[in-house]
């Protein structure tokens, strides 16, 4: 499936046929649907939308199409050019705009791009809003502006600097404290906009920066998802440079991973754990992550006297739960830090600053910090199913089988055992069940996943 329509936007591969790929026709259609919805939602025709993009090869083409479509609807566009997802998110309220679109396929490879859609708060749309936009795109019932009513394009390339200033002004970030620590850090910007934003932030904080793949050409030097198997170069570079640690971001800079001083992965799951540890040590409060994230966040939160809650998978669900529970920090186990004092969106710049503060105040090495946290190991597997199987019934059968355990059904079935957990989720895009487990050793996590897979197959008669 190379064109995926969801409540958070539309993503697809460049080229190919309309309705099957993200072609120019599809980009125009979905931009028009968003603009048409925004007029109805805002109750006015006098609208302003912020647009920014990552550095991928198709970015400028898709941006030109989207911007021109909105102008054709009579909507003014603030064009940030090369930007990051969190930068666009903070720009929307600062500009008093009515919405925003980020042109990025996040961690997907270079042939992909996407339109990620924001509301007037700079936050992702909810399910109901997203469904309305998909329906409008399907109908193609658009009314474009007359020639005298076309929108205007206002270019503003200063927002990465504004974003950095916003980070420096956070109450728990002190540039002098970080400067005194004298850090040396390697940055892998995967040749996208993180290569602009993260080094700039670090230099403002007095950190010595070693750049690796920080030229925003859009030619990703490795698979852009920040996972261990893709990050051999920076792991070597951190050791060679005798750096304090390494920073890796995805192309749109909302995911953040660290490399320890010994060249080992700190673990994406532990990015949020470390940042929360710092924030909770200064401010009492609660945390939220999604159901598939590490139990380590719960442990650290409870150590500081706070309450941890789990949300359904998806940033909009985490944000909703954070607002309900007045969480002071939250996010997702994929290295996504959401810090409401800044804004309700995953932000690698904010996460970087909080982590530097933690290291500057606590001292020691990053490897020692990682060793100080509860140690958990995850397994991520899947079962491919035939289309005639009733996946919901299979999940219900697993729920019934483990009804005496602590079970959540807000997003698939999550079973919390005393020493480990398993999360079973139906994929939205293919006939599979995803099986995530976590335990205190890799073998336990893998064994639990294999056991659950066998039980599902038995229930399905496979």
List active site positions.
106
In angstroms, the CA 341 to CA 171 distance is: 8
DSSP letters for 340-373: TTTBSS--HHHHHHHHHHHHHHH-S-HHHHHHHS
**Residues near 100 by Cβ (< 8 Å), separated by ≥ 6?**
49, 50, 51, 52, 88, 89, 91, 92, 117, 118, 122
In this structure, what are the phi and psi dihedrals at residue 97, rounded to the nearest 5 degrees? -80, 165
Lookup: tokens for 108: 């997907």
Lookup: tokens for 132: 């309305």
CB 287 within 8 A of CB 328: yes
Residue (of 6, 45, 5, 47) closest to 26 by Cα position = 5
Torsion of CA 267, 382, 224, 133, to 10 degrees: -120
Residue with tokens 């970015």: 59
CB 92 within 8 A of CB 99: yes
DSSP state of 228: G
In angstroms, the CA 196 to CA 209 distance is: 12
Helix (H) or strand (E) holding 3, with range, is strand 3-6
DSSP letters for 401-418: HTTTSEEE-SSSEEEE-S
Q: Which residues pair with 256 in a beta bridge?
A: 249
């Amino acid at each position: 499936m190379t064109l995926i329509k969801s409540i958070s936007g539309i993503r697809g591969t460049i080229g190919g046929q309309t309705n099957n790929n993200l072609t120019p026709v599809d980009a125009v259609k979905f931009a028009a649907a968003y603009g048409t919805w925004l007029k109805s939602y805002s109750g006015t025709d006098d609208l302003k939308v912020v647009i920014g993009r990552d550095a991928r090869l198709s970015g400028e083409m898709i941006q030109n199409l989207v911007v021109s479509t909105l102008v054709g609807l009579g909507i003014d566009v603030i064009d940030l050019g090369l930007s990051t997802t969190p930068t666009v998110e903070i720009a929307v309220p600062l500009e008093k705009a009515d919405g925003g679109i980020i042109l990025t396929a996040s961690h997907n490879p270079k042939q992909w791009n996407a339109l990620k859609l924001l509301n007037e708060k700079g936050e992702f749309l909810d399910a109901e809003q997203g469904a309305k936009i998909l329906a409008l795109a399907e109908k193609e019932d658009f009314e474009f502006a007359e020639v005298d009513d076309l929108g205007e394009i206002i270019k503003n390339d200063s927002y990465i600097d504004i974003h950095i200033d916003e980070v420096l002004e956070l109450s728990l970030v002190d540039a002098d404290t970080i400067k005194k620590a004298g850090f040396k850090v390697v940055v892998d910007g995967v040749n996208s906009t993180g290569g602009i934003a993260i080094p700039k932030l670090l230099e403002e904080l007095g950190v010595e920066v070693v750049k690796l793949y920080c030229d925003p050409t859009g030619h990703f030097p490795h698979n852009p998802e920040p996972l261990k198997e893709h990050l051999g170069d920076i792991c070597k570079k951190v050791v060679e440079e005798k750096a304090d640690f390494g920073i890796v971001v995805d192309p749109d800079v909302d995911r953040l991973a660290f490399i320890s001083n010994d060249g080992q992965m700190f673990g994406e799951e532990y990015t949020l754990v470390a940042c929360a540890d710092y924030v909770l040590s200064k401010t009492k409060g609660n945390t939220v992550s999604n159901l598939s994230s590490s139990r380590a966040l719960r442990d650290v939160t409870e150590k500081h006297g706070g309450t941890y809650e789990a949300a359904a998978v998806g940033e909009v669900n985490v944000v909703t739960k954070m607002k309900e529970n007045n969480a002071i920090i939250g996010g997702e186990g994929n290295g996504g830090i959401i810090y409401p004092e800044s804004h309700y969106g995953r932000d690698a710049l904010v996460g970087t600053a909080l982590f530097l503060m933690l290291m500057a105040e606590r001292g020691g090495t990053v490897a020692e910090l990682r060793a100080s946290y509860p140690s958990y190991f995850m397994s991520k597997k899947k079962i491919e199913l035939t289309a005639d199987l009733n996946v919901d019934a299979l999940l219900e059968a697993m729920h019934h089988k483990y009804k005496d355990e602590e079970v959540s059904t807000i997003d698939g079935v999550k079973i919390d055992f005393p020493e480990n957990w398993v999360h079973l989720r139906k994929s939205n895009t293919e006939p599979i069940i995803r099986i995530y487990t976590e335990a205190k050793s890799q073998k336990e996590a893998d064994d639990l996943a294999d056991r659950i897979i066998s039980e599902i197959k038995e229930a399905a008669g496979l």
